[in-house]
Structure formats: C-alpha cells, structure tokens
Amino acid sequence: MSRAKTLREARTTYAVAWTAFQQQHAVNPQALFCFLEGKDAQYYGIRIDLIVEPSSRIDLFCGGKRGVLRLRALIDESPDHKNAWTAFFIDADFDDNSQHNTHPKTYTTPCYSIENLYTTRDAFRRLIVSEILLTSTETTRADQAALEQVYERGMASFLDAIEPLIAWIRWQRKNRHPDETPTLNETQLSTLVQFSAEQSTPICSLEEFDKHFQPPTPTPCAAVHGIQKETSGHPSRSMLFRGKYIIQFYGKLIKWVADNANQRQPKHISRKYPNSLTIQSGNILSQLSQYADTPPCLIRFLKSIAQHCPTKSIIPA
C-alpha cells in the first residue's frame, strides 16, 4: 500500500469516527467516549472499566495518532461537544509529545506503544506462573528463574538484532516530513531480521534498509550510526524500541516456552509442565491483556477521568 493510500484511509477512518461520535453522543451523552489509534481497546478496555467504571463506554478508532489528535481538536472547539465525557489515548512512538501531554484528557504511553507493556519481564513472569507453572514450590520457583533467564537472553539478542533498524526508523522520523516517511507496516520484519526465542540476527545491513521500504529513502548511514549509539546497551531498550516488532518476537518466545514445557525432557527446566497455552499473532493483544503491565501513570490518568465522568455508581438504574 502506498503512503498516499495509507494517509487517505487514515483520513477516512478519522472522518467516520467524528460522525459516529456526533451521532452516538446525541443519544447517549453520559457515555465515556474513548478515542483510540487502532485496536488499543484490547488493552485499555478492561482497565478503563475497572478503574473508571463508566456508565457506558464507547470506543472510537481514529486511524492513527494524528486522527486522535484531530478529533480532540474538533471536540475542544465544538460548543456542543467540548464538555462531553472523553478520553484520548496515543502512543509515544518516536515523537516529541510534550505539547500533547499537557491536555488533561490525553494519555500518552510511557513507552513506544502499548505493545511494549505486554513484553516486560514482569508481564512474562505473570504469564508463565499463571499458564504454565501453576503452583509455587521450590522446584517451580527454580524453573521460573530459569525461564526468566531464557527471556532475558532471547530479548537481549532480539534487541541487538533490531537496533540498527530502530536507529534507521528514528532518523526517518526526525528528518523527513510525516507524509514522506516509509510505511513500516508494509514491510515484514522477517525480511529484515531472523529471529527465534533464543537467537536473533540481522538479515540485511544498514545500507540495505532503504530498498526494503516504500517509498525508497536514501539515508546517510553515518547519521544513523550516531543515533544507534544513543540506545546501544540502554537498559530501557525494550520500552524505547518499536513495540510492534518486539511483540512479534515475544509471541515466538511464548510459543517456544509453552511447547518446550510440554516436552518429556524440556530444555532449561527440570520437568515437563503440561499446558494448553497457544498464541495466535492476530489475537495476542486480547489474549495476553490481563498479563500486560499497567503503569502508574495510566492508573493516575484513569482516576482523573473517573472524577469527572458519570459512573455506574452515580447513574440511576
């Protein structure tokens, strides 16, 4: 898909969301309207319901970050809608979000995107304890520690492998107009990096990235190397790098851990742990939402929204 077509579709999605908001607000003005970049409701939905407890929640998908921000501006400027119960959710990406973060109804992720919140060591620990190990004994605690080491080694290898690619993308975002930057979703990560649960390696060099993305974008390699040095070995790389890439690795890791635990003589752990855990890449956000991190800043944001939003406890039945 071309960049122009991608932008046209995003504008269409944003326009549809604006129309839907006006129509639904007219018939349900006490609902909480949540404006999301895409399918982020799979992460935010349960957390909004638990913390805000809105009388009803309506999710509106805006075709990306710019769509969310455009709709926010429209609503703020609309006399009929500026006091509606709204919340806007955006990913940090590689952007400077300082001007967005001052808006009281806008939440920006503390990492690249929500996918990063699924792939932390704490999230991994919660998943393997609940889905595979199940009990807490001296043996299972030792096996848990062993699996966490598998996670650490595998994640470090993957982050090393994608580090040049991330630096290349950051240079594009910093130096090109948004309408001219490469369309990332149209290029399969597997054509750039070979990755598995335990070992990952780049397939192509920094100099070859330009030809893998559309539109082709000649890039000064020296400048990209400089950006790469900024994050090389950074302890928070897994939160700073592109979440949609990391969660692809994480899905492979979880599948390997589950399959390995089902073996009679598994690697790294002391015994077989029968389990039925299966991961489908298209549903991973909904499948693993309960195990993903909920950062304190999100809890504070949702509590602030709850202070001004009609909730189930104050809406007459």
**pLDDT attached to residue 186:** 67
Give the pLDDT mean for 73-82.
Answer: 92
Chain centroid to Cα 240, Å, comes to: 11
For residue 35, list its beta bridge partners. Answer: 60, 88
The pLDDT assigned to 312 comes to 62
pLDDT at 310 over 80: no
User: Mean pLDDT across the chain, nearest whole number?
Assistant: 89
**Residue 157 pLDDT exceeds 60:** yes
242: left (phi over 0), alpha (psi -120 to 50) or beta: beta
Long-range contacts of 289-296 (CB under 8 A, 24+ apart): 289/42, 289/43, 289/46, 289/118, 290/46, 291/118, 291/123, 291/126, 291/127, 291/130, 292/43, 292/114, 292/117, 292/118, 292/123, 293/117, 293/118, 293/120, 293/122, 293/123, 294/47, 294/117, 295/110, 295/117
pLDDT reported for residue 185: 76
pLDDT for the residue numbered 2: 46
Position 317 confidence tier, pLDDT thresholds 50, 70, 90: very low
pLDDT of 4 over the 80 cut: no
**CA neighbours within 13 Å on the CB side: how many for 292?**
26
Mean pLDDT of 288-292: 97
Task: Reply yes or no on whether the pLDDT at 288 is more than 60.
Answer: yes
What is the structure's pLDDT at 189? 92
Task: State pLDDT tens for residues 226-274.
Answer: 888 888 878 889 999 999 999 999 999 999 999 999 999 999 999 999 9
For residue 127, pLDDT beyond 70? yes
User: Can you give the residue ranges of every domain in the chain?
Assistant: 3-110+295-306, 116-291
Query: Could you tell me the pLDDT band of residue 177, with boundaries at 50, 70 and 90?
Result: confident
Q: What is the pLDDT of residue 291?
A: 97
Percent pLDDT > 70 in the chain is 92
Instruction: Please report, for residues 128, 143, 146, 267, the alpha-carbon distance to residue 140 in angstroms, rounded to integers and kept in the order given.
Output: 11, 5, 10, 14
The pLDDT of residue 1 is above 80: no
Supply the pLDDT for residue 193.
94
* pLDDT tens digits along 162-174: 999 999 999 988 8
- DSSP letters, the chain, are --HHHHHHHHHHHHHHHHHHHHHHHHH-TTSEEEEESSSTHHHHHHHHHHHT-BS-EEEEE-SSHHHHHHHHHHHHH-TTTTTS-EEEEE--TTS--TTTTTSTTEEE-SSSSGGGGGSSHHHHHHHHIIIII-S--HHHHHHHHHHHHHHHHHHHHHHHHHHHHHHHHHHHHHHS-GGGS--GGGS-GGGTEEE-SS-EEESS-GGGGGGGSSS-----HHHHHHHHHHHTT-TTHHHHS-HHHHHHHHHHHHHHHHHHHTSSS-SSSSS---------GGGHHHHTGGGS---HHHHHHHHHHHTTS-BTTTS--
Q: pLDDT tens digits, residue range 137-153?
A: 898 999 999 999 999 99
Per-residue pLDDT, 315: 42
Q: Which CATH class is domain 3-110+295-306?
A: alpha beta
Closest CA to 227 of 289, 180, 140, 168: 168
- Assign 215 a pLDDT band (cuts: 50, 70, 90): low
Yes or no: say if 63 and 39 are a contact pair by the CB < 8 Å rule. no
Q: Give the model's pLDDT for residue 144.
A: 96
Q: What is the pLDDT of residues 15-74, one digit of tens each?
A: 889 999 999 999 999 999 999 998 899 999 999 999 999 989 999 999 899 999 999 999
Instruction: Answer yes or no: are the C-beta atoms of 238 and 159 closer than 8 Å.
Output: yes
